[in-house]
Structure 1
Amino acid sequence: MAAFVRHRVPFGGRRNVTAPATCAQRHIWNLMQRQLPDAAFYDVCYWVALPGHGTAQDLLDVFAELLGRHESLRTGFHRDADGSLVQQVVEAGKFEAEVWALTRDEDPDGVLHAWQGRMRHTPFDSARAPLIRFMVAVVDGAPVLAAFCVSHLAVDLTSVRLLADEVTQLLDARAAGRPLPPAVPSRQPVEQAQLEYSPRGRALQARARAFWCRQLASAPASLFPPCNGAGGGLTGPVRYSAGMNSRAVALAVPVLARRWRVSTSVVLLTVIAQLLGRRAGLSSCALRLLTANRSDPELRGTVANLHSEVPVTIGLEGDRIEDIARRAFATCTTAHANGLYDPDEVADLIASAHGPDVPVDLSYCFNDVREGHALPEAAEGPVEVSGAALRAAMADTVVAPDDFEEGETFFLVIDDEQPGWNRLVLNADHRALTPSEVHGFLYDMERSLVAYAEEAGARAAGAEGHGRPAHPTRTSSPEAAGPRHAHRTGLSE
């Protein structure tokens, strides 16, 4: 029977330092306070399969190396005498790791799921670093799986992907007796806070504030007015999630991205906005895009919480869907350039967007966590797909209940972990969408994308029949995201 030993492993870094919290840290802190007492809701579990070489001690050494390299992993948070949130980086301490010894007949996935379940109900004390725990599954003395649970105060989705890659690279080097690869130079959260309080940082936040004001001014007050009273006449859980696995969506999206000359994310966002707008009978739709601010080269390799949520108000007027998509693309590009903002100031803007005490409901979220957000010229996948191929792919679509949890009215996540497929997970409040309507919305997304792709193909065929050159067909599949995933699908890119 599988058994584990809990270790308290020492780690060491370069400095003890206290600094103001960053904008992203304050944003997640605010979300966590609203979620209390369920503080573990914003903890993230992530895992990576290992090739089965090295030892458990090698992996414990790798974990200690990660904490030494990344200050966010050994940072705690508290309020100072003035009530301001501060980050406290500790130089040394100990972290917790469980090493599970399995026989060849035992399933590492079962051990992982049980560990994740315990972590889901074991919140961190945010004042006490480190805000991360580890587990290792070992078969015949060699680690075959590693996982970590970490607070969203310390990481975003890009960060956990970086950590997973580092685990495999560092373990390979240690197991082979090679020097460890050096850490990627990157800005630490303390320096990010210094930038945000600098004149340049203040100017960026002022620009973002103006962008928020423009988006909120044109946003509808709500897309889903409450129905049937405050509770909608419902008993039991008031939220429901379903997931769709679709080959047809994965085929249609890159085709439309090329035809509409927008990113693949904007293709998906445009169709979502159109469906929401039609349902509400509105000519515009406002959503929050979850993103990580990594356009600055110094942040590309940073392991930290750089999370932000930027608003986009998408106008739905016009007969041509590609025109709506191009306007959405322009708005999204501007939104991502304005991801550094004061979360408290933005909360005040939302609360009085249409006048004193007249808020805008921005509880509609779009989170594209696919590893490839390519523009048309770089997008993977076929340039054209026949209508017959798209319809055949639709026959493989599966929609089923999902255990994804969120606290918004409408929260849709897209990932591409399985090559050749897209997975769309929708969590919604029953007062907005009943469980059957959640399923229906996902199917409507797929049908819309397929119909638009067929229409684009018909236009292309007509143009080619009048002498325009045809594009060669490619059949490559989207690249695999690797054998790992986040426990909370809502974690931002």
Structure 2
Amino acid sequence: MITESRAVVEFHGGTARTGPLCWGQQGTWDSLAQWYPEVKPFFFLTRWLPVPLLLEVGDVLAVVGELLVRHESLRTHVSQPPGGEPTQRVLASGTLPVDVHDRPADDPVQFEDIVATCWERGTARPLDHSRELPLRLSIALHEGIPVVIAFTLSHLAADYTATDALVRELTAMLDAKASGTPLPPARPAAQPLDLAQAERSPEGQRRNVDAIRHLRSVLDRAPAPIPPQATPESPRFVGADLESDLLAVAVRRTARRCRTSTSVVLLALTTALVRSFWPEPRLRLDIMQGNRTSPEVAASVTTLNQVVHTITDLDGESLTELLDTATRAMAVARAHSRYDNRAAREVLRAGDLPPGVQFNDMWSTLPAGPRTATPSATTLTWPATSNAESMALYLDVRGTPTRIRLGAMADTAILPRADLAALLHTFEHLAVDWAEGVDGR
């Protein structure tokens, strides 16, 4: 029988600070207010990692405490008074409760099931950001020996890129602890309050003015909404995930062959396929930007993602034309990717943006991994449904260095379930054709 208990991480020696949210945090905070706790999965990021042999529970707790000291977002409370603005308060010291699950040798429960249970519990109740730290941590033991760490992290504290970086950093710190060597130094990085200060500088405000000007131009050029193309299902929105090794190889090969980035290739694939079912010549295309383009923010543990609204033409027949269009769209998104979300919302109140397609490439930030001799089979699953979406199609690209997970959430009034499955499979097939030069280049 698994024994459950509670431990505590203590952290000391940090700097206490108070100030406003940065723009990325502000957007997530407003989304929390709008959707949470009714729609929970988006607002939690779940990860696990193994614990090296020879470490005791106290060793693991000490390393986690050091991690919290390094990253202010992990030891921050956020609150908003009625009628006021949200404020983040960074703690100099404090504690983090940890759930401990000790499995005896004769227990049949697998550790992956323990991790799943930890994630389920970690996301089951809302986070009170004004009182709780944004991290819920569990340690799984085998006969008293730490084996696995599982955690759930608020999206207010980190985006996907930062969360993956945290896993890599914590892994390296645990390895050093196990080998008796000094912990690897923290990478220099801007903290969320540093970013908020920079955004309020004259240069930050000029950037915001330019982004808001771009948003007004998008409203002026917005196409008319398209009518339903099919009878919607109930729930109206359906999600699908295609996982493919071949897609990862093909996208990288096409990027090398055409001397462009994998993000541009993925966006070109998206627009090439969207026009197969989109009845209008222009499309509202929202491009999610990670905003980690400078050294001072590359290692920041916070949420920096902001969506950039654009309008794109669904024309072009050759691969060259499709890549050129995608390149221009990416350049526009990068140029206007940092802005005050509340100022943008005021602009949007003056006009309507029709539903379109949102593109979010998180895979291209991963380092290229070694190719496997035999690619794993492509799989298609249907993980979610929803009635609360505002776009016709969401495409999220994530996964591992060697395997892409192409996630989609589609409005079945625009793209029925069977058509969505066909689109995802065609995405892979078209990518392979481009990689092999079938486009005629």
Answer whether TM exceeds 0.5 for this pair: yes
Aligned residues: 435
The Cα of 1:155 is off from its aligned counterpart by 0.6
> 1:180 & 1:168 partners in 2: Cα distance?
11
Distance 1:245 1:36, change over 3 A: closer
Q: Who is 2:420 aligned against?
A: 438
Distance 1:396 1:43, change over 3 A: closer
Q: Who is 2:77 aligned against?
A: 76
Structure 2: gaps spanning 5 or more residues: none
Structure 1: gaps spanning 5 or more residues: 353-357, 383-391, 461-493
1:221/1:359 contact within 8 Å kept: no
2:122/2:151 contact within 8 Å kept: no
Distance 1:346 1:282, change over 3 A: same
The Cα of 1:371 is off from its aligned counterpart by 4.9
> 1:149 & 1:403 partners in 2: Cα distance?
19
Q: Who is 2:398 aligned against?
A: 415
1:273/1:285 contact within 8 Å kept: no
Q: Who is 2:111 aligned against?
A: 108
Q: Who is 2:145 aligned against?
A: 142
> 1:123 & 1:347 partners in 2: Cα distance?
26
> 2:153 & 2:232 partners in 1: Cα distance?
38
Mapped pair 1:289 → 2:282:
no
Q: Who is 1:399 aligned against?
A: 380
Secondary structure of the residue aligned to 1:15 is coil
Secondary structure of the residue aligned to 1:7 is strand
Secondary structure of the residue aligned to 2:173 is helix
Distance 1:75 1:226, change over 3 A: farther
The Cα of 1:209 is off from its aligned counterpart by 1.7
The Cα of 1:344 is off from its aligned counterpart by 1.4
Q: Who is 1:465 aligned against?
A: none
Letter in 1 for 2:281: S
2:76/2:89 contact within 8 Å kept: yes
> 1:334 & 1:204 partners in 2: Cα distance?
13
Distance 1:225 1:348, change over 3 A: farther
1:288/1:311 contact within 8 Å kept: yes
Question: What whole-Å deviation, never above 9, does each CA across 1:12-62 have from its counterpart, x for those lacking one?
Answer: 242322211111111001111111332644121111233333122211111
Q: Who is 2:248 aligned against?
A: 250
Letter in 1 for 2:406: L
> 1:253 & 1:44 partners in 2: Cα distance?
26
Q: Who is 1:429 aligned against?
A: 411
Mapped pair 1:33 → 2:33:
yes
Mapped pair 1:367 → 2:347:
no
Letter in 2 for 1:144: V
The Cα of 1:234 is off from its aligned counterpart by 4.2
> 1:34 & 1:360 partners in 2: Cα distance?
19
Secondary structure of the residue aligned to 2:343 is helix
Mapped pair 1:131 → 2:129:
no
> 1:381 & 1:58 partners in 2: Cα distance?
33
Distance 1:43 1:257, change over 3 A: same
Distance 1:381 1:137, change over 3 A: closer
> 2:3 & 2:287 partners in 1: Cα distance?
42
Q: Who is 1:464 aligned against?
A: none
> 1:373 & 1:170 partners in 2: Cα distance?
20
1:350/1:359 contact within 8 Å kept: yes
Q: Who is 2:328 aligned against?
A: 330
Mapped pair 1:10 → 2:3:
no
2:282/2:311 contact within 8 Å kept: yes
Q: 1:173 aligns with which of 173, 176, 187?
A: 176
Q: Who is 1:90 aligned against?
A: 91
Q: Who is 1:160 aligned against?
A: 163
2:79/2:86 contact within 8 Å kept: yes
> 1:373 & 1:160 partners in 2: Cα distance?
13
1:260/1:326 contact within 8 Å kept: no
> 1:38 & 1:97 partners in 2: Cα distance?
25
Letter in 2 for 1:369: M
> 2:19 & 2:83 partners in 1: Cα distance?
14
TM-score, scaled to structure 2: 0.89
Letter in 1 for 2:354: D
Q: Who is 1:267 aligned against?
A: 265
The Cα of 1:152 is off from its aligned counterpart by 0.8
Question: What whole-Å deviation, never above 9, does each CA across 1:117-174 have from its counterpart, x for those lacking one?
Answer: 1222121102124111111122244322212211111111121112111211211222
> 2:306 & 2:340 partners in 1: Cα distance?
10
Distance 1:319 1:436, change over 3 A: closer
Secondary structure of the residue aligned to 2:141 is strand
TM-score, scaled to structure 1: 0.80
The Cα of 1:108 is off from its aligned counterpart by 0.9
Q: Who is 1:192 aligned against?
A: 195
The Cα of 1:262 is off from its aligned counterpart by 2.4
Q: Who is 1:477 aligned against?
A: none
1:185/1:298 contact within 8 Å kept: yes
